[in-house]
Structure 1
Amino acid sequence: MLTELWNQGVRNLVEGRIVLGPGLNVFVGGNGSGKTSLLESCHVLGLGRSFRTHRLARVACSGRTEFAVAGEVQDPHHGRSRVAVEWAGQRRSRLNGQWIDGHWEIVRRLPLVAVHAGSFELLTGPPEERRRLLDWGAFYVDSGFAGEWQTWRRAHEQRNAALREQDGKLAARFETVAAAAGTRLTGMRERFTQRLAGFLCDASTAGLREGLPAQIEVSFRPGWPEAESLLEAYARSRPSDLERGFGQSGPQKADLDIRVAGRPIREASRGEQKRVLNALVVSQGLVQVASGPQGLTPLLLLDDAVAEMDETGLGGIMEAVVSLGWQCLATTVDRGWAQRTAGARPDARMFHVKQGLVTSLD
């Protein structure tokens, strides 16, 4: 749970500290007021990356080359932790006042799932976003995932470097390590997919799926033909890989196939896609809850909660937030919806955002 948030130099946000409630936190304001930037800062803090851009430099306020986001996190396993992310040409993460390698330890303490305008890329865009989902889930399902991913990634990059140099013998030397680690991390991704599929059909997500013509189906594609091992795939594709200068088989080609009533999700209506997206994100969080330390729940970010959502779909996601007991940060331009939603929950908090300034309305 994120109990406090502090921003400095983030887009149009005014520097300041926000105290958050443990349940629903609703942020209301006009377009361009800074609501999405606020959620973006939470996303950077929790996952080490933005959901609006692949370049963290763009998160900085216009005219600045650095920014910082910090917060206080509470979880049942570690208690209270102070976490921070700073950008000044490169990202650096800090935990309890100490710089740390990577961002994995903060991800463990602040699990985060989000629904925003770019989330539709998860359903209809290129495979990169779906691989991020697979890796996020596998990280929580298997404690050894981070190590296997780093081992595979290093060997994969070394093999690619050899391929670019047209050195097939050197490329083959890295294949054993890459295949072993890649096979193990692929097994972790597959186990996460199986658990995700279970929650997508579970009673806990029934309200989110209301209105869909059939169940949501997900299947995992490992990135090479299932009839052969990854080591065999490397050997088979090596001549073609040498011509192209990069590997064409392996975990970097994995994907998640999502369907409704047997049809690819990209063929569904926008409303159906929104329902599938909400169910997918909540199921992602449910896998984490089932796999992580007892009592650890994800932070749910809902950007522009009422956009492209009918009353049934919106009611489903808000009911899920309450029933699951997750902390949620939701933004909206609809003040009436914000007041009705926050007013119906005694532990909800409401904030107003204007010209980057966040003010509590409690």
Structure 2
Amino acid sequence: MLVELWTRDVRNLQETRIRFGNELNLIVGANGSGKTSLLEACHVLALGRSFRTHRLARVARSGFGAFSVAGELWDSIHGRSWAGVEWKGQRRSRLNGQWLEGHWEIARRMPLLSVHAGSFELLAGAPEERRRLLDWGSFYLHADFVQQWMTWRRAHEQRNAALRQQDTRTAARFEAIAADAGTRLTEMRAAVVAQLRHHLADAASCGLRQGLAGAIELTFRQGWPENETLSDAYARSRSSDLERGFGQSGPQKADLEIRVGGRLIREASRGEQKRVLNVLVIAQGLLLVGIGPGGAAPLLLLDDAVAEMDEAGLGGLMDAIAVLQWQCLATTVDLKWALRTASRYRGAEMFHVKQGTLLRSHVPGD
């Protein structure tokens, strides 16, 4: 849970220090006021990257060469933690005063899910987006995911380099390493898909089924023929790989096929896609909570919550979040909707953003 957030020189936000509520936090403001920048700061703190840009330099205020985000976290395993991210030409992450080599430990303590304009790429974009979903789940489900992913990635890149140089002996050496780690990585991804299938029914039943043309179906494509081992796939395609200078089989080719009512999700309407996104994000959260003693409820970010959603669909999503008692930061330009929603859910907090300044607002009925 994100207890408190500090930001400095993040886009158009004024220097911010704000404490959030444990459950629903509604953030209201005009377009361009800084609402999405606030969610972006939370995303950078949790995952070490932005959902709006691949270049962290663009997160800094215009004309500034640096920014920082920090927060007080709480979870049932570690209690209170203090995390921070600084960028000045490169990213540096800190946890409880100690600089980290990567960002993995903060991500474990601050599991985060988000729905924003770019989330539609998960459904209709390149396979890379869906592999990111599978690896997100693998990271939380399997303690050795990072080690296996890095081992496979290094071996895969070394094999490709050897293929480009027509060095078959070196390619074969890294092929064996890539096959072992890649097989384990694929087993982890398959386990995530199985868990998501298990939780989809529960997620859809949380008031989110209305408006869907049928059941959501997930099919995992591992990146090589199902009747082959990865070692066999490497051996079969070796000559062709040498000609092209890169491997054509393996985890880098994996994909997740998503259908609703038997149709590919990219053929569905935008409104139906938004509903599927909402069901998927609830299923992901249920996966996190169901891990066991180390499982933790996610922080859920909803950017422009009312966009492309009818009243029933949006109400179902808010009801599900309230029942599950997850912490949620939801932005909107619709003050009337925010007031109705804040008065409906006990414990809801409300904030206004104006010209980059975030202020707590009165909740009707308090």
Normalised to the residue count of structure 2, the TM-score between the two structures is 0.96
What letter corresponds to residue 129 of structure 2 in structure 1? Answer: E
- Alignment of 1:345 onto 2:345: yes
Cα displacement (A) at 1:295: 6.3
Once the two structures are superposed, the pairs formed by residues 318-337 of structure 1 within 5 Å of their partners are: 318-337=318-337
1:180 match: 180
Corresponding letter in the other structure for 2:176? T
Sort the Cα spacing of 1:203 and 1:353 in 2 relative to 1 into closer, same or farther, 3 A: closer
Say if 2:223 is the partner of 1:196.
Answer: no
Give unpaired runs (5+ residues) of structure 1: none
Residue pair 1:205, 1:279 contacting (<8 A) in 2 also: no
Give the structure 1 partner of residue 10 of structure 2.
10
3-state secondary structure, aligned to 1:51: coil
Q: Which residue of 2 aligns with 1:94?
A: 94
Is 1:148 equivalent to 2:148 in the alignment?
Answer: yes
Q: Does the CA contact (< 8 Å) of 2:26 and 2:349 recur in 1?
A: yes
- The CA RMSD measured in Å over matched residues stands at 1.3
The code of the aligned residue for 2:173 comes to R
Contact 1:141 1:292 survives alignment (8 Å): no
Q: For 2:293 and 2:24, how far apart are their aligned partners in 1?
A: 22
Partner residue in 1 for 2:278: 278
Match in the other structure for 2:59:
59
Count of residue pairs the alignment pairs up: 362
**Which is worse superposed, 29-38 or 245-254?**
245-254
Q: Percent identity?
A: 69
Q: Which residue of 2 aligns with 1:305?
A: 305
Q: Could you tell me how far apart the structure 2 residues matched to 1:282 and 1:264 are?
A: 20
1:237-282 per-residue CA deviation (whole Å, 9 max, x = no partner) reads 2222222222211111111100011110011111111110100111
- Distance in 2 (alpha carbons) for counterparts of 1:94 and 1:211: 44
CA contact (8 A) 1:140 1:292 kept: no
> 1:298–1:327: 8 Å Cα contact kept in structure 2?
yes
Answer yes or no: is the 8 Å Cα contact 1:205–1:320 preserved in 2. Answer: no
Aligned mates of 1:171, 1:295 — CA distance in 2: 40
Shift of the 129–205 alpha-carbon distance from structure 1 to 2, 3 Å rule, reads: farther
Following superposition of structure 1 onto structure 2, how do residues 158-237 of structure 1 map, counting pairs within 5 Å? 158-202=158-202, 205-237=205-237
- Name stretches of at least 5 consecutive residues in structure 2 with no aligned partner: none
Q: Which amino acid aligns with 2:272?
A: E
Q: Matched residues in 1 for 2:238 and 2:295: separation?
A: 47
Contact 2:288 2:295 in 1 (8 A): no
How much has 1:203 moved relative to structure 2?
6.0
The 1:271–1:204 alpha-carbon spacing in structure 2 relative to 1, beyond 3 Å, is closer
* Higher alpha-carbon deviation: 237-246 or 88-97: 237-246
Query: Residue 76 of structure 1 contacts residue 295 of structure 1 at CA under 8 Å; is this kept in 2?
Result: no
Which letter does structure 1 place at the counterpart of 2:245? Answer: G
How much does 1:179 deviate? 0.6
Aligned-pair CA distance for 1:345: 2.2
Distance apart, 1:207 and its partner CA: 1.4
Question: What letter is aligned with 1:2?
Answer: L
